[in-house]
Amino acid sequence: MSIRVEALSKKFAGHAAVQDASIEVGTGKLVALLGPSGSGKTTLLRLIAGLEFPDSGRVFFHGEEVTHKNAYERRAGFVFQHYALFQHLSVFDNIAFGLEVRPRATRPHRNEIRERVHCLLQLVQLEAFAKRFPSQLSGGQRQRVALARALAIEPRVLLLDEPFGALDAKVRKELRAWLRRFHDETHITSLFVTHDQEEAFEVADEVVILNHGHIQQIGAPGLLQREPANAFVHDFLGLDFQI
């Protein structure tokens, strides 16, 4: 399931958040959107998720145009920076949510839902926490629940918005490694946003660098370091040779 974005543009109150962005995420790849704050990376992610609609441009999931489809029609799993877990529901119910709201025709039987949720709890190593509530979990645990919840709907793509931004350094490193391993196992097409260069380079197959809504460069981490496309990329990555 690939993602393709064509000349996407979005303005907020006169300020151009994303300008003429075109990227491609191949099936099974893990791509990072990297840039300073205000560079438009979160907006771009939300445009792909269907949480915002573009002023111009198109979005494709595996060749199928989804530009004007609502978020609930796109089946793009989304993990928020601040988890956005349902506070009034238990961990189990949070994860089951996406399955519970399916129309009767496609909704799995209750037992099947239970099985799937427990499978996912195992995957994120939180089986013992099924009955707990989000307020009783640590930051890292909450993010894993958020991930399990997004995966429950068997998403076509996985979108993560600074998934580790709200966590402390040690947990961040652990989860980073965990995410890479997870991706290697599941091969789900993933796109994640970060402002942390180290994180992007460590985890992603490919990195997209943005600034002021414009895409600066796209490429594998090594390529970017060897051949920065312009002065901004050069400075942003902290490279120390002259272009």
Partner 1 sequence: MAGAIQDLTTVRQSTRPRRATEEGPLTRWTLTLLSAGFFTAFLLLPLGAVFAEGLRRGAGLYFRTFTDPATLDAIKLTLFTASIAVPANTLFGVAAAWAITRFEFRGKHFLSTLIDLPLWVSPVIAGLVYVLLFGSQGVLGPWLKAHHWRIIYATPGIVIATVFVTFPFVARGLIPLMQAQGSAEEEAALTLGARGWQVFLRVTLPKIKWGLLYGIILANARAMGEFGAVSVVSGHIRGLTNTVPLQIEILYNEYAFSAAFALASLLSLLALVTLGVKSYVEWRARQQLEQSQS
Q: Which residues of this chain interact with partner 1, rule CB under 8 A?
A: 49-51, 70-72, 74-78, 80, 82, 84-88, 97-98, 101-102, 133, 135, 146, 149-150, 152-153
Residues 6 or more apart in contact with residue 172 via CB below 8 angstroms: 164, 199
- Residue (46 or 211) nearer to partner 1, CB: 46
Shortest spacing between CB 101 and partner 1, in angstroms:
4
Shortest spacing between CB 78 and partner 1, in angstroms:
4
- Residue (119 or 166) nearer to partner 1, CB: 166
Element (H, E) at 17: strand 15-25
Q: Is the dihedral of CA 88, 93, 99, 100 positive or negative?
A: negative
Q: Is the dihedral of CA 1, 33, 5, 49 positive or negative?
A: positive
Give the Cα separation of 84 and 167 in Å (integer).
Answer: 14
DSSP 3-state of 48 = helix
Give the Cα separation of 176 and 14 in Å (integer).
Answer: 36
Shortest spacing between CB 47 and partner 1, in angstroms:
13
- Residue (10 or 149) nearer to partner 1, CB: 149
- Residue (29 or 142) nearer to partner 1, CB: 142
Shortest spacing between CB 204 and partner 1, in angstroms:
21
Cβ(19)–Cβ(12) under 8 Å? no
Q: Are strands 3-12 and 76-79 parallel, antiparallel or unpaired?
A: unpaired
Cβ(188)–Cβ(157) under 8 Å? yes
Shortest spacing between CB 232 and partner 1, in angstroms:
31
Shortest spacing between CB 81 and partner 1, in angstroms:
9
- Residue (78 or 192) nearer to partner 1, CB: 78
- Residue (42 or 217) nearer to partner 1, CB: 42
**Which DSSP category does 192 fall into?**
E
